[in-house]
Amino acid sequence: MFAYYFKLGVRSLRRNPVLTALMVLTLAVGVAASVSTLAILHMMSGDPIPQKSTRLFAPVLDNRPAENYDPGNDRPDDQLTYIDVVNLLKSGQGVRRTGMYGIAAVIEPPDKQIEPFWTEGMAPTRDFFAMFDVPFVHGGPWSEADDARGADVVVLSRELAEKLFGDANPVGRQVRLLDAPFTVVGVIDAWSPQPRYYQLQSGRKFGVDEDLFIPLASSIRHKSSHNGGMSCSAPTDPGFEGILRSECTWLQFWFETASSAGRDDLQAWLDNYAADQRKLGRMKRNAPNELYNVPEWLVHMKVVGKDNKLSAWLAFGFLALCLVNTIGLLLAKFSVRASEVGIRRALGASRKDIFRQFLTESAVIGLAGGVLGLLLAFGALALLSLQSSAMAAVARMDLAMLAFTFALSVLAALVAGLLPTWRACQVTPALQLKSQ
């Protein structure tokens, strides 16, 4: 019976093409506006590493002076000092630890026909790659010995490797940066988690990929300046060494535990570490020491702001307005079919049969609106992605959003069709037959 009603619904679309086009277009525009906005919000707020997001922890320590401290309202910096990063790396806590900071350098390609160019990357420790599930297409991370001695080794992105060496495997070859030859030990495959949860402090949360990675100790040895923000709560000694000895915060740090249950032990150790540092004259505020797993970190760093959520609510408000218009159009469409309903009722059709028929027709309109709305949503996302690389990273739709688009359009059409369908079921057969 459903197939029969579905055929009737398809035929009804051709009875009044202008009215049908208005309903489909109205529904499609509402669905496209809400789905495109929700798709962006979905990509921005998604879990970038769901397989271990509750086992990765970013520590936050407050190392600022005790003067003018306002507990509860004075948020500490979200980065760490070099002193703390070195101590946390040596702590042995968790199964992996990594400290890092952003770098920028001029690369001198081995092919002299290619001009030197500026590129950006990271200076992490070896555990970075295993901790964040970075895939490799050639080679792998540098060794623990390379980490310890600060060897001049580099891991390249696939895009940069192809730019420098073509399709050949570049492992073992050299590229010059920071005024020194660096040996290529690995090439990572496509890896672009969105948002960039591992380094949100740079302010670039989406659409930025690292071109290269060198050991943290190597970057420090070459005195490579950081590519990012720095906060200093006290005067520093001159030079790069002065920054290393200072209370300036400019590095990021992550722990990985064997399970999420390891959080309590890690928190206890972090509290003890801060207490030991206070005995040395540091961290005088005695502020709470925080640990954030990945979902908590995204909230803490306000990856999805209030403006984004407000945009989503406004989009769904626009969809509701489109539904009101669709209800009016359906009322007009069904009201002119009162005589048809009266004849069907006189021939034995029940109100339930009429309800099913007209509601199925509303679902057909929803499917048509869903297809058109999906096309409009893709077009809107494509236009938004042209604005910037950050927008291009989030202005896209996954399979879940595709399914949601069709479900939303059909559900919206069914909701819009409830009142007109109920009105159609109230037709009195005798009155309609007398009027014929």
Give the sign of the dihedral formed by CA 281, CA 286, CA 287, CA 288.
positive
pLDDT surpassing 70 at residue 339:
no
The pLDDT of 346-350, averaged and rounded, is 60
pLDDT surpassing 90 at residue 421:
no
Q: What is the rounded distance in angstroms from the CA atom of residue 270 to the CA atom of residue 254?
A: 13
The pLDDT of 160-187, averaged and rounded, is 94
What pLDDT, on a 0 to 100 scale, did the predictor assign at position 17? 75
pLDDT surpassing 60 at residue 272:
yes
Q: Cα dist. 68→62, 74, 158 in Å?
A: 13, 9, 49
For residue 262, the 8-state DSSP code is: G
Model confidence band, residue 175 (pLDDT cutoffs 50, 70, 90): very high
Q: Cα dist. 360→3, 175, 344 in Å?
A: 10, 65, 16
Model confidence band, residue 293 (pLDDT cutoffs 50, 70, 90): very high
What pLDDT, on a 0 to 100 scale, did the predictor assign at position 289? 94
Q: What count of other Cβ atoms lies within 10 Å of the Cβ of residue 389?
A: 12
**Averaged pLDDT of the chain:** 83
Question: For 36-85, how does the pLDDT look when each residue is reduced to its tens digit (9 = 90+)?
Answer: 887 777 777 778 899 999 999 999 999 988 887 777 777 788 999 999 99
Q: Cα dist. 133→101, 122, 189, 311, 361 in Å?
A: 18, 16, 11, 33, 49
Q: What is the rounded distance in angstroms from the CA atom of residue 206 to the CA atom of residue 233?
A: 29
pLDDT surpassing 70 at residue 191:
yes
- Sequence-distant (6+) residues with CB within 8 A of 211 are 119, 120, 121, 156, 157, 159, 160
Q: Are 366 and 436 in contact (CB under 8 A)?
A: no
Question: For 352-386, how does the pLDDT look when each residue is reduced to its tens digit (9 = 90+)?
Answer: 766 677 777 777 777 777 788 788 888 888 887 77
pLDDT surpassing 90 at residue 328:
no
Name which residue leads in pLDDT, 373 or 107. Answer: 107
Model confidence band, residue 229 (pLDDT cutoffs 50, 70, 90): confident
- Can you spell out the DSSP letters for 177-226? ETTEEEEEEEEE-S---SS-GGGGGGS--SS----EE--HHHHHHTTPPB
Q: Where are the domains of the chain?
A: 2-47+305-435, 62-288
The pLDDT of 303-309, averaged and rounded, is 65
The pLDDT of 295-305, averaged and rounded, is 83
Model confidence band, residue 432 (pLDDT cutoffs 50, 70, 90): very low
Name which residue leads in pLDDT, 142 or 24. Answer: 142
The pLDDT of 151-173, averaged and rounded, is 95
What pLDDT, on a 0 to 100 scale, did the predictor assign at position 225? 86
Q: What angle do CA 319, 324, 326 make, to 5 degrees?
A: 90
252-256 and 96-108 as β-strands: parallel, antiparallel, unpaired? antiparallel
Q: What is the rounded distance in angstroms from the CA atom of residue 304 to the CA atom of residue 98?
A: 26
pTM across the whole model: 0.76
- Sequence-distant (6+) residues with CB within 8 A of 45 are 298, 303, 304
Q: Is the omega angle on the peptide bond into residue 170 within 30 degrees of 0, that is, cis?
A: no
